[in-house]
Chain A
Amino acid sequence: MIVNRSSDGLETAVSVSRTRREFLRDAAGLALGGALIQASPFVRAESVRKKRKVVVVTFGGGARDQETFAPEGQENIPHMLNEMAPQSSFFTHVTNQGILGHYVATASLATGVYETLNNFASVAPEHPTIFEYFRKELKRPLSDAWVVAPSNGFHRIGESEVKGFGPGQGARVILPKRLLGLTSSAGTADFEHLLHDNYETPLYTPALAGGEVELQQLETILKLSIGDFAAHARTLSSPDELSLYIAKRLMREESPSLLWITMHDIDVAHSGAYSLYIEGIRRTDRLCAELWKAIQTEPEYAGNTTMFVLPDFGRDSDFDAGGNGFQHHRTGDSASRTTWMMALGAGVRQGVVYDTPIQSIDLVPSIGAMMGFSPSQSSGKSIRELA
């Protein structure tokens, strides 16, 4: 009889991270990183910091090991495995101890605090975001921090309402799917389906005001006419492809130093169709590699950019009776809480695997140490292998 083994969650998490490490070592020829910690390659010179750019990609929607880095999942991530992993520092054991909803988990990643806000409410993070710390301490303009997010529910991710930080001091947020909706004057029923906000509640989309301002962004910032944007969208197969298109356009036209992209196609898993979940993983794998290539070819980014790729969390194990396997992330079991992070680019040691346990909230202080700001209210710790 199959039994629920949730009581040995820690053991399972360690086992999962070891499997990732061993697989990466075997498949991608990566070295173990424990002995290398003392010799961090980060260059701390102020002149370099000023040019430093960071791109964060959340590997949208949560993905499990058996569909990604475990041997049986490798066929789904050829780009990350063969092209990106050998260039990266790979952290095998990242845990998320917070609420496993996509907006609240992304907000936690962005603040370095396990946020407790309502996942489905249109509210700002309860703590200062990385964008506010970055802009305030480094005196950066509004144009230097951007978020590209999948759905209306993320429109307040860019800044908190915390005294001393707050409105006007965070990142600008662009919602490509919403832009697409605004540019369409003749939505069909099927088109409306595309614009549904997220896969957990597929029929609900929070209403947002202020569409005219966003359309102006297309023209003034992205240098895109509404017609060109809509025409290009018609050549793409998914909302995440649209997000990548917008992100690349932002890099070209605005060159933000801090760019945060939240992918979301994988979360189609909530529909219960396994083949669509796998398609989402393969697409996200390809898009991450495309973004990495764009970073290396864009003059403002090439050579001075660090890119982080990490799922916001995992998904439920096949063996937890409280869940339904890959479909959701509701049980809070080890599979849904334990995930990985890949760091590539400027200042990052290449081809190294670290299996030291870290937490997802450690990302903000680590980027802070890298870029030269102090996320004072974050409860995460700077990752010593990076900082």
Chain B
Amino acid sequence: MLPRELKAESFASYPPQARAIATEHLGALQRLPFAFAPSLLREVIDFDYKFPAERSTLQDELSTLDSLSDAELHQWFEAFFSISLSSTLENFDWVNLPAQFVEQQAAYLWSTHQLDGFRKAATEYGDRLNRLRKPELNRLSRVGVAIIGREVQSYSSPLFKNLRKHGTYFTNVSPQGGLACLMAALEERAQNYPQPFAHWYVEGGDLEPHGSHIASVSYRALTPTRNALLKRMQEEISRPGMGPEELRAVMARLTPTDLKVETGTDPVLSRFELKLLTEGSGTQIYSTAFAQWASREVLRRAQPLTLLVRYAPRQRQRPMNELLAGGIGQAELDPVGSLIDGDMGAYYQWIDQQRLSESERSSFIAWFEDHQIAVAIGPAMPRGAESNTAIDMEKLFSMAVT
């Protein structure tokens, strides 16, 4: 099947809102190149489970495609039209299984040396969309906070090396009340500017008390889901004919209901949590990988106005000789390793935040929890500067967030 053969009935098995939007933009979808259409449908089919910012972006994209003349559309997608795909892919049920199709398409593009061309075409397409996108005019500038190094007593190597050149490095921050201050700032922003999924709290351990208007995900709270998922994966692996790619396809299709675990009441958030575990690598095992991947996905998908990420010690990776000696015992923690993980995670959080609109107005604070080290980035913060002036977290936050 090719895109031009799409009909309204093609989307009969889509969730209600996804079906409605696909049908509304059927004309645009029919005109798309085969190398591109399934990627777009992968987003459309999940419309019912998307965050408000994602829905808005997707609707804008479809409206833009609707507005293009045939000549414009051909110009936009010329590179995609030149990509050749196999008849096997054409015969795949890409309308109903677009995510699985895209996996197979990627493998095909790699094997036929067309990946670089596809990548270039996708980048150019994204750039075109970005140029047309109307800038958001949030009343509130975006703020990111990363809290790393919980339970580390002392650490002598330099921290925040990647972030320092973008802001001011503080070496004399009063740690007292630091966490409470940052949580209160999150709370205040969420109360003053209440919007669904606009304020987030990602926790690598146990959640701190917070208001219901803050969206939150926690590694610890997802323990039943993680265990159920690992059990399900083991069951699938033991099936005849199961391989890595088949396993990935099974994981992609999983829903919270499949795992038979109790989930939250919000279906969008529940689906998001499961995807963190099924699409993220290492998120089922290491709390630091979970926190970093969750921050990436929250920023990419929900585009929040506020995101606070707090890392917790992950389990220690046991060396081979210990594993061979046997004895499972209680999983030990690796606070110092987790601090290094969190340091890189904080850097990636800032990079991901800078990909969003109005990045020039945004602020970012990374803090070594319960210690005096922090870095603050924002429009008013000197770049590449260092300050050893005594300062508390409230003052530092107000300086960074203008």
Contact = CB atoms under 8 A, between A and B. Distances in A.
Interface string B216-255: 0000000000000010011001000011110110000000
B326 A190 contact: yes
Interface stretch (A36-44, A135-143, A200-208): A200-208
A326 B344 contact: yes
A332 B115 contact: yes
A241 B289 CA distance: 25
B320 A239 contact: yes
Contacts of B243: 120-121, 204, 206
Contacts of B293: 272, 324
Interface stretch (B50-58, B118-126, B367-375): B118-126
A241 B233 CA distance: 29
A271 interface: yes
Contact of A234 (B126, B324, B356): B324
Contacts of B347: 318
B27 to A, nearest CB: 29
Interface string B282-322: 11011011001100100000000000000000100111110
A238 B359 contact: no
A2 B328 contact: no
A144 to B, nearest CB: 30
A275 interface: yes
Contacts of A203: 230, 233-234, 237, 247
B111 interface: yes
Interface in A235-280: 235-239, 241-242, 268, 270-276, 278
A98 B319 CA distance: 33
B359 A328 contact: no
Nearest to A325: B348
Interface string A173-209: 0000000100010101111011000001101101000
A47 interface: no
Contact of A321 (B161, B321, B325, B355): B355
Given A188-B326, A236-B320, A242-B320, A272 B351 contact: no
Most buried by B among A97, A189, A200, A275: A275
Interface string A1-42: 110101100000000000000000000000000000000000
A379 to B, nearest CB: 12
A193 B288 contact: no
Nearest to A330: B106
Given A72-B161, A190-B318, A273 B286 contact: yes
B382 interface: no
Interface string A213-246: 0000000000000000010011111110110000
A236 B325 CA distance: 11
A255 B324 CA distance: 29
Nearest to B234: A203
Given A6-B120, A6-B123, A193 B337 contact: no
Contacts of B390: none
Contact of A190 (B112, B328, B359): B328
A327 interface: yes
Given A190-B328, A274-B340, A328 B321 contact: no
Contacts of B285: 271
A272 B342 CA distance: 11
Contacts of A72: 161
A108 to B, nearest CB: 12
A331 to B, nearest CB: 7
A12 to B, nearest CB: 13
B123 A273 contact: no
A4 B119 CA distance: 11
Contacts of B292: 272, 324
A201 B320 CA distance: 19
B283 A272 contact: yes
The CB with the most chain A CB atoms within 10 A, among B161, B281, B286, B359, is that of B281
Contacts of A333: 119
A130 to B, nearest CB: 22
Contacts of A1: 354-357, 359-360
Contacts of A242: 320
Contact of B247 (A99, A100, A201, A272): A201
A225 to B, nearest CB: 17
Contacts of B286: 271-273
Contact of A233 (B245, B324, B354): B324
A319 interface: yes
A25 B144 CA distance: 40
Contacts of B233: 203
A120 B293 CA distance: 24
B323 interface: yes
Contacts of B324: 180, 184, 191, 194, 230, 233-234
Contacts of B111: 99, 116
Contact of A194 (B323, B328, B355): B323
B317 A273 contact: yes
Interface string A119-137: 0110000000000000000
A273 B288 contact: yes
Contact of B341 (A206, A273, A321, A325): A273
Interface in B132-172: 161
B351 A319 contact: yes
Interface in B60-117: 107, 110-113, 115-116
Contacts of A120: 243-245
A114 interface: yes
A318 B340 contact: no
A274 B344 contact: yes
A234 B322 CA distance: 8
B280 interface: yes
| A180, A201, A241, most chain B CB atoms within 10 A | A201
B327 interface: yes
A188 B288 contact: no
Given A4-B123, A203-B247, A273-B289, A328 B317 contact: no
Contacts of A6: 119-120, 123
B244 A188 contact: no
Contacts of A322: 119
Contacts of B112: 116
Given A1-B359, A201-B248, A233-B320, 11 more contacts: A1-B356, A1-B360, A2-B351, A6-B120, A98-B113, A99-B111, A184-B324, A194-B323, A239-B320, A273-B341, A275-B336
Interface pairs A-B: 4 shortest CB-CB: A272-B289, A271-B282, A272-B282, A275-B340
18 contacts: A1-B354, A2-B355, A99-B110, A190-B327, A191-B324, A194-B324, A200-B281, A204-B247, A206-B243, A236-B320, A236-B321, A237-B319, A237-B320, A271-B289, A272-B286, A276-B317, A276-B337, A318-B351
Interface of A: 1-2, 4, 6-7, 72, 97-100, 114, 116, 118, 120-121, 180, 184, 186, 188-191, 193-194, 200-201, 203-204, 206, 230, 233-239, 241-242, 268, 270-276, 278, 318-319, 321-322, 324-328, 331-333
